[in-house]
């Protein structure tokens, strides 16, 4: 998946009215709550076969960090 | 003391791991013949190597979701191989954390296939009078593993909880259909048990747990197996159509 497609997916997963950018700090999003984190875990598992833990997500600050957690699955 | 005879043949699904493995080993140790079903042959063989009576432990490799409609015929073929059944412990299952916004029909099907449709069709197969012992021959017992989530579940668990609640409800109804023919059906509803399912590092199940709700610690597979064995045995002959929570009092 390319990054711009992922950013659109992310907007949908987080159910945001605004678009997402790589440099955004996730902690600035009011949508970045525990349900959104669970949703990201489900999405990574389903789409990339990548199993994340809540601890992995605690280490994430920016959207770009989140992309890195997908290994090379998001280019 | 609970004992079984080797003429008592039980199916145990999910026998390659966790609770199902503990049930298969204990049931075999207590004398019954066990047909151990799962997909992973290596892990089934490993389980068998721990058995007290390996000659009464038979391994069957099977993906229970492959052709669910055919499961009653699968049971028939097992009967032709091993004899009429005294019952089953349905311990196969999958867990998932899917907030509602992530749910689609694929996820619903994945979860319901293993946790609900397959056990229902396996039960159908076993309860066919041609495949099971009659009341005069000793009857039998079926136990399915549901989950505490069927009663009380947390966020992200809606589909898993739904599959387990559905199973609990159906088993209760089926128990009434066959009560007079010497077969009993019950469910057990464990809270958190230390198995590969709950211990995997990515398991959000365990990260959400408040240790104060578990004053005696988490359950072990054997704790659930003991209850299942009791319900499979004649000692539980007055118990059918029930849903037993297995927990230390923290959750409900
Ligand atoms: N652990 C807990 O905290 C807990 C709490 C409440 C309820 N439960 C329930 O207890 C049951 C046993 O769970 P566990 O903790 O022992 O989990 P586990 O260690 O992950 O074992 C699950 C078993 O199900 C089998 N299985 C899964 N999909 C299958 C399929 N398509 N066809 C055939 N077999 C399949 C697996 O075998 P293969 O992979 O070899 O096929 C494995 O033996 C489940 O129903 C679970 O929902 C567990």
Question: What ipTM was reported for this prediction?
Answer: 0.83
Spatial neighbors of B117 by CB under 8 A, at least 6 apart, are B65, B68
Segment holding B7, helix H or strand E: none
Structural domain including A18 reads 3-73
Residue B58 CA to chain centroid, in angstroms?
A: 17
Count of domains forming chain A: 1
Beta bridge partners of B85: B9, B132
**Burial class of residue B184 (count of CB atoms within 10 Å of its CB; 0-12, 13-18, 19+):** buried
**What is the side-by-side order of every strand in the sheet holding B183-190?**
B57-61, B33-38, B9-13, B85-90, B140-145, B183-190, B243-246
Is the beta carbon of B209 within 6 A of some atom in ligand 1? no
Q: What pTM did the predictor assign?
A: 0.94
Q: Which residue on chain B is closest to A37 by alpha carbon?
A: B99
Domain containing A62 — which CATH number? 1.10.1200.10
**Burial class of residue A33 (count of CB atoms within 10 Å of its CB; 0-12, 13-18, 19+):** exposed
Query: Which residues does chain A have within 8 Å of residue B97's beta carbon, measured at their own beta carbons?
Result: 38, 41-42
Spatial neighbors of B13 by CB under 8 A, at least 6 apart, are B20, B37, B38, B64, B88, B89, B90, B91, B92, B119, B122
Q: Strand B140-145 to strand B183-190: parallel, antiparallel, or no bridges (unpaired)?
A: parallel
Among A13, A15, A38, beta carbon nearest to B204: A38
B74 is a catalytic site residue:
no
Taking only the tens of pLDDT, chain B with its 252 residues reads 899 999 999 999 999 999 999 999 999 999 999 999 999 999 999 999 999 999 999 999 999 999 999 999 999 999 999 999 999 999 999 998 999 999 999 999 999 999 999 999 999 999 999 999 999 999 999 999 999 999 998 899 999 999 999 999 999 999 999 999 999 999 999 999 999 888 776 565 666 677 777 778 889 999 999 999 999 999 999 999 999 999 987 655
């Amino acid at each position: 998946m390319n990054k711009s497609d992922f950013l659109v997916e992310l907007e949908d997963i987080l159910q945001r009215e605004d678009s997402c950018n790589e440099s955004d700090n996730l902690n600035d999003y009011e949508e970045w709550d525990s349900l959104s984190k669970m949703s990201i875990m489900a999405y990574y598992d389903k789409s990339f076969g990548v199993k994340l833990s809540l601890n992995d997500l605690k280490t994430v600050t920016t959207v770009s960090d989140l992309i890195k957690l997908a290994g090379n699955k998001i280019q | 003391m609970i004992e079984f005879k080797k003429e008592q043949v039980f199916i145990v699904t999910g026998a390659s791991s966790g609770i199902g493995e503990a049930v298969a080993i204990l049931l075999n140790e207590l004398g019954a013949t066990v047909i151990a079903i799962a997909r992973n042959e290596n892990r089934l063989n490993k389980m068998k190597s721990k058995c007290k009576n390996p000659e009464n432990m038979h391994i069957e490799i099977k993906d229970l979701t492959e052709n669910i409609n055919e499961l009653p015929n699968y049971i028939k073929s097992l009967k032709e191989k091993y004899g009429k059944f005294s019952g089953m412990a349905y311990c196969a299952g999958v867990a998932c954390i899917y907030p509602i916004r992530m749910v689609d029909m694929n996820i619903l099907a994945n979860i319901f296939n293993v946790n609900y449709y397959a056990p229902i069709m396996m039960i159908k197969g076993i309860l066919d009078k041609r495949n099971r012992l009659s009341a005069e021959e000793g009857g039998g017992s079926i136990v399915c593993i549901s989950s505490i989530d069927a009663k009380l579940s947390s966020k992200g668990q809606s589909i898993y909880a739904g599959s387990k609640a559905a199973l609990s409800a159906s088993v209760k109804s089926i128990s009434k259909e066959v009560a007079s023919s010497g077969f009993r059906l019950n469910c057990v509803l464990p809270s958190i048990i230390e198995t590969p399912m709950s211990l995997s590092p990515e398991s959000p199940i365990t990260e959400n747990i408040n240790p104060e709700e578990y004053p005696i610690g988490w359950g072990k597979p054997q704790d659930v197996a003991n209850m299942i064995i009791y319900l499979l045995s004649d000692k539980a002959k007055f118990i059918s159509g029930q849903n037993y929570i297995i927990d230390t009092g923290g959750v409900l």
